[in-house]
């Protein structure tokens, strides 16, 4: 019996409080591998896919017992879960987090297992660096993303920003090949005015400001307004906060001006789920988001995938143009045994998340595309975790086979990402983001009176005292 079924049965019988989850099905001597990224039961297509992978894996590796143990990573819950020894064998986090998890001893060194499997040197070097410390590797990247600008093409066409050709396809460039869509923050402001003037109760842009999501996106905006870095390393190895750099002040001032004019969605408590809710409901025309999240308005709100374009981040100062580059790594609980970790790594192969290209791996990769296609998700290129040629050849061929969108609407982003991508700030990123959230919330909720410089001065001092000075 699966462990989640076991727990549900125990709850029904009123005994869940005294029956440990591991007690069901644990007496057969098999090695339990707890999978933290197991989909929610409401995601029926994904659950079915995972169960297929589980059945095939356990048929090939009878010594293992795959256990659904869903864990949605949170900086607020990780300490309690880790110290109590309750983390799943493998779970997902963000690229900002491995260094903290490593230094606290919460995740396992998997270098030896990766070497044994022959995976270590096939990993994208920049992604491997994000999950490594002192020459040892502590994770496996799932994929990468770059921040860009999501466009509701239907709205932009209605207000005359973009055109259509004779076949009804949207045209995003003029006769000289120059973009018709916004490439500067000033142009986003201009397009937002057109949107607000043309639609009732609709806004040009949604700006996030809660749960660290606002600060995450804002740091990219600050870079694009000329902030070289929000954290500066000194010659002695110490760090100086730079959250109040003039570029950051200019970016926050721009948001304030947008709020003053009613051009951004006027809610100072928006988190990541809210950008696609507003897009999906046609409340806003544009949003900043990651390239790995473009499916969300489609799957959740039935947004027309043919009305989506994803284009490069705009510039604020006319020169600086960066895309914050991050991603999702799989990491492994520090208290997991070597056998459990190897089982979890092998299960990643059965999910199509390894660099291998044998029948098992390719079938799993194809199954992922088929599931996405069945849900109507836009299938576009991804930023790959693995760089070995055989993997890239297979992965790119499958993307081409299953692509169900007009790649022209994404081409500018993917053509530019290698030159634009920039890693997240190096220290206590999630904590820094939350401090920046507060500044964003103030300028959105009271744009007429908020002082961007003072707000960022406060955030800068708090980040220095509470975090950087303690490194």
User: The dihedral of CA 100, 104, 105, 107: what is its sign?
Assistant: negative
Q: Which whole-number Å values give the CA distances from 418 to 144, 312, 314, in the listed order? A: 12, 11, 16
- Contact of 433 with 216, CB cutoff 8 Å: yes
Phi, psi at residue 267, to the nearest 5°? -125, 120
Q: Report yes or no: 287 and 205 within 8 Å, Cβ to Cβ.
A: yes
Q: Using one digit for the tens of pLDDT, what is the confidence trace for 132-172? A: 999 999 999 999 999 999 999 999 999 999 999 999 999 99
Q: Tell me, what's the pLDDT at 19? A: 30
Of 86, 43, 76, 159, residue with least CA distance to 333: 86
Q: Helix, strand, coil: what percent of the chain each, to 5?
A: 45, 15, 35
What digits encode the pLDDT tens for the residues 53-99?
999 999 999 999 999 999 999 988 999 999 999 999 999 999 999 99
Q: Determine contact, residues 234/240, Cβ cutoff 8 Å.
A: yes
C-alpha closest to that of 66 among 93, 42, 88, 81? 88
Q: How far apart are CA 451 and CA 443, in angstroms?
A: 8
Q: Do the beta carbons of residue 91 and residue 340 sit within 8 Å?
A: no
Q: Can you say whether residue 126 is alpha, beta or left, with left for phi > 0 and alpha for psi between -120 and 50 degrees?
A: alpha
Beta strands in 335-465 (DSSP E): 421-423
Nearest to 2 by CA among 34, 46, 29: 34
At residue 26, the pLDDT reads: 53
Judge whether 257 and 225 are in contact, CB under 8 Å.
no
Domains along the chain?
3-142+327-402 (3.40.190.10), 145-325+406-470 (3.40.190.10)
pLDDT of residue 238 exceeding 70, the answer is yes
Q: Label residues 59-75 b or e (16+ Cβ within 10 Å = b).
A: eebeebbbbbbebebeb
Q: Please, are residues 405 and 379 in contact by the beta-carbon 8 Å criterion?
A: yes
Q: Which pTM was predicted?
A: 0.88
CB 206 within 8 A of CB 217: no
pLDDT tens figures, 346-383: 999 999 999 999 999 999 999 999 999 998 899 999 99
For residues 298 and 304, give the distance between their C-alpha atoms in angstroms, rounded to a whole number: 6
């Amino acid at each position: 019996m699966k462990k989640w079924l076991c727990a549900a049965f125990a709850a029904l019988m009123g005994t869940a409080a005294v029956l440990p989850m591991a007690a069901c099905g644990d007496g057969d001597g098999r090695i339990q591998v707890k999978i933290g990224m197991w989909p929610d039961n409401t995601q029926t297509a994904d659950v079915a896919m995972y169960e297929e992978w589980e059945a095939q894996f356990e048929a090939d590796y009878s010594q293992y017992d795959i256990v659904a143990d869903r864990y949605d990573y949170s900086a607020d819950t990780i300490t309690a879960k880790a110290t109590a020894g309750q983390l799943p064998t493998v779970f997902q986090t963000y690229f900002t987090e491995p260094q903290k998890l490593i230094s606290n001893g919460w995740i396992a060194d998997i270098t030896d297992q990766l070497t044994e499997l022959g995976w270590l040197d096939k990993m994208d070097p920049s992604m491997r660096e994000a999950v490594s410390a002192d020459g040892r590797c502590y994770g496996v990247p799932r994929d990468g993303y770059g921040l860009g600008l999501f466009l509701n093409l239907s709205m932009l066409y209605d207000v005359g920003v973009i055109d259509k050709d004779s076949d009804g396809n949207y045209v995003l460039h003029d006769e000289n090949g120059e973009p018709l869509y916004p490439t500067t923050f000033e142009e986003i402001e201009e397009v937002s005015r057109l949107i607000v003037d043309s639609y009732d109760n609709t806004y040009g842009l949604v700006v996030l400001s809660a749960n660290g999501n606002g600060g995450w996106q804002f740091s990219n905006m600050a870079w694009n307004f000329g902030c070289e870095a929000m954290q500066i390393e000194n010659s002695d190895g110490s760090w100086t906060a730079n959250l109040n750099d003039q570029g950051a002040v200019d970016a926050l001032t721009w948001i304030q001006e947008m709020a003053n004019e009613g051009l951004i969605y006027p809610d100072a408590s928006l988190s990541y789920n809210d950008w696609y809710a507003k897009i999906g409901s046609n409340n806003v025309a544009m949003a900043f988001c990651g390239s790995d999240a473009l499916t969300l308005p489609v799957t959740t709100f039935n947004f027309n995938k043919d009305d989506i374009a994803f284009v490069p981040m705009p510039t604020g100062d006319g020169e600086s143009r960066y895309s914050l580059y991050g991603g999702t790594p799989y990491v492994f609980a520090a208290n997991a045994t070597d056998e459990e970790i190897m089982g979890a790594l092998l299960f990643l192969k059965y999910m199509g998340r390894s660099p291998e290209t044998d029948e098992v791996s390719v079938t799993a990769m194809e199954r992922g595309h088929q599931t996405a296609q069945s849900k109507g998700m836009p299938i576009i290129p991804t930023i790959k975790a693995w760089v070995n040629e055989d993997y890239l050849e297979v992965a790119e061929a499958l993307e081409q086979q299953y692509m169900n969108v007009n790649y022209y609407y994404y081409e500018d982003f993917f053509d530019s990402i290698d030159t634009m991508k920039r890693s997240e700030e190096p220290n206590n990123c999630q904590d820094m983001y939350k401090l920046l959230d507060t500044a964003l919330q103030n300028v959105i909720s009271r744009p007429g009176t908020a002082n961007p410089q003072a707000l960022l001065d406060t955030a800068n001092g708090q980040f220095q005292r509470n975090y950087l000075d303690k490194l």
